[in-house]
Structure 1
Amino acid sequence: MRSTRLVPVALVNLASALSATGNGITIVALPWLVLAQTGRATDAGIVAGAATLPLLLSSLFSGTVIDRFGRRRISLVSDALSATSVAAIPIAAATVGLSVPLIAVLAALGAVFDPAGIGARESMLPAAAKHAGWTLDRSNSVYEASYNLAYLVGPGVGGLLIATVGAVNTLWFTTGCFALSIVTIGALRLEGSGTPDAASRPASMWAGTLEGLKFVWHNRLLRTIAWVDMILVALYMPVEGVLYPAYFTELGQPAQLGWVLAAMSVGGAIGALAYGALAARVSRYALFLIAVAGLGACMVGMAFLPPLYVTMTLAFLIGLVFGPVGPIANYAMQTLSPEHMRGRVVGVMTSSAYAAGPLGYLFAGPLIDSFGIRTTFFALAIPVVVLSLICFALPALRQLDA
């Protein structure tokens, strides 16, 4: 009987892990594919930016889509679109040939519905936790740990596959991950995951999105988390998406890129799982501050481009201290948002991070070409240290333990 109760939470976590594994492989494969063709970090930044630029609008409206059409259905559609766009890259390579604009367009198409899929699965967590008899802290801890494990498997396998079968053929494995996620969610039966009642659905896409925006803006804690997350994404994501791919391309070591990202994912999984045990003993506020300060300190260390074992250690520490942030943010969204608006709140919070992604990617590529990898790394790391000091002075974050 107890094992039956765990089925929904297991399926949600498995589907999220499969989809994240596919995205983790893509993070490594696409920049490598572009750099192998042109050798220009700017081109890699263009593709990375193209994959994130549509996310600003799509993530903003994704929550309304979820609340209008249902969480399970949107998760299925999201993975189907991702699988189709990723599979189109090796097909194009074998037929018409690849170019940077074509890769950028396909990357954008594949990513445009990702926020809706992620938001749909996150919105199902409270019902899955209730069905399993778990607390929200435990459910969020396991969910974020499985997500981080997926990014351990994704980039690590991606780097190894690139080294053995090439970047183009690696994308077939990505397509398979999305297909398996579709099968997993197809088997899910969970209260609240179907089409919402007409009375609770948003009146229109625009009206629903405005309701979500107003709700987040008028909540001091959610608004503060959104701003901090936005700045961190703009400063850190180019490290994974542009700086390290360019650095390890120069070294001719694709597998080492996978090892660094894998070390970070191992740390993130351990940190997220540890949160489940720490939540009852350590304040969420303290864990949040440790995460931001630890990220800044480790990024400064990485900026010196130390030997591989030092870089992997710093990457592990980033994952470890930042592992609890995902569960903490999820807890805030789940406890502060009404059930019928959860999709919209998650969508707005997600869009705040995606808004900064394209700026960070497009800023990093030209900086690398003009000033080099090390200087660009410091230009991104030092502002994170400054932000960590500012967080100590933000009273809204103390509400994490209210």
Structure 2
Amino acid sequence: MGVKLGILGLGTVGTGTVQLLQNSGFRHPLLQEVEIYRVGVRSLDKPRAVTLPQTVLTTDLEAIVIDPEVDIVVEVMGGLEPARSLILKAIQNGKHVVTANKAAISRFGDEIFSAANQAGVYVMLEAAVGGGIPVIQPLKQSLSVNRIHTITGIINGTTNYILSRMQTEGSNFSDVLADAQQLGYAEADPTADVDGLDAADKIAILASLAFGGRIKLEDVYCEGIRQVSKTDIAYAEKLGFVIKLLAIAKRITSSPPISIRVHPTLVPKAHPLASINGVNNAILVEGEPIGQVMFFGPGAGAGPTASAVTSDILNLVAALQTSTAVPNPLLTCAHQDYCQIVPMAELITRFYTRFLTKDQPGVIGKLGTCFGNHGVSLESIVQTGFQGELAEIVVVTHDVREGDFRQALAEIRTFAGVDSIPSLLRVL
């Protein structure tokens, strides 16, 4: 029994997937059973890096998802619509779905999970998080007996590339971003990457799998890297840290139970994530009884993402051929309650803050007193130099409740001797 694929999209990932499926050197025996039956494209005339019969290509994507001959729909077009509608229509027509679309899954997961459950079909999404890094299936299978405490990830290659270069070159954010756009590492509109939205989509999916509940995307705190300056990177270096955009999902022992957030973070140089540079991704999973496990590799690109898409296709083919169930990452998340998310004001973390103050005696003492009054314990407070007429003071706190720290800052902003607070970053 052959398995017929309907592929939606023939861009970077779609082309990479077709190349892998056509590669005679890739000798997985199940590949003999897979037929690329229909491929949906925007334009039939566009030159392509793969050769497919003209009869396979179509601009009618809806015809693919309702075609009774198609067994598996592979959605690699990206975006929210028409991807969401096509996935749902495919499910309604009894098709299994493989998708790389983290934006659609993180926003419309409820709808997609419920529809798949009702239709008794599989939705596979290994490629949606971390490119070629296998993390979805390990969370559902190999690590399923563990109680996961924390997932901490560098899961956006564009921002990691920018921060890595800012660190090694001492460059400004805007200069490195412009260069990354020219090299193709950043989109013309980099908002989803540099403002942390892409990482928020991915950590919502990982948290849902790890903690067995649904995540409302609007509950994920999201802060990007635009405000990270080369000055902060240099000070972090002196203090023994590197700055990374981290996505963190953490089980809190008291109720409400989960903290989930994306923000630039000072990471100690000895931490496993500190050495992850360039466009690479890494996901650190901590749980009991396993301890720490780290998944590392290329987080995007045609080859890595196609690898994850194709492995999902082959898992489905194996299940269809043997009529056995495969562990489905989405179906096991269906009909669950939403996770309760801890408000950021309740978060316990450390902070790095940089102040510009008038060069007056007693300013450091005044800052220290105000922090003490609000229950903020300081690890260090040092005057690092001057910017023009203004003294620069860098503060690193011990663990503190974020709400208390914010109240202290609100009071400090009213001090006559304080000109501005240009930087505020959390510390891992």
Which TM-score band applies after superposition, normalised by the shorter structure? Answer: under 0.3
Q: Could you say which structure has the greater relative contact order, defined with CA pairs below 8 angstroms and 6 or more residues apart? A: 1
- Normalised to the residue count of structure 2, the TM-score between the two structures is 0.25
- Normalised to the residue count of structure 1, the TM-score between the two structures is 0.27
Greater percentage in helix? 1
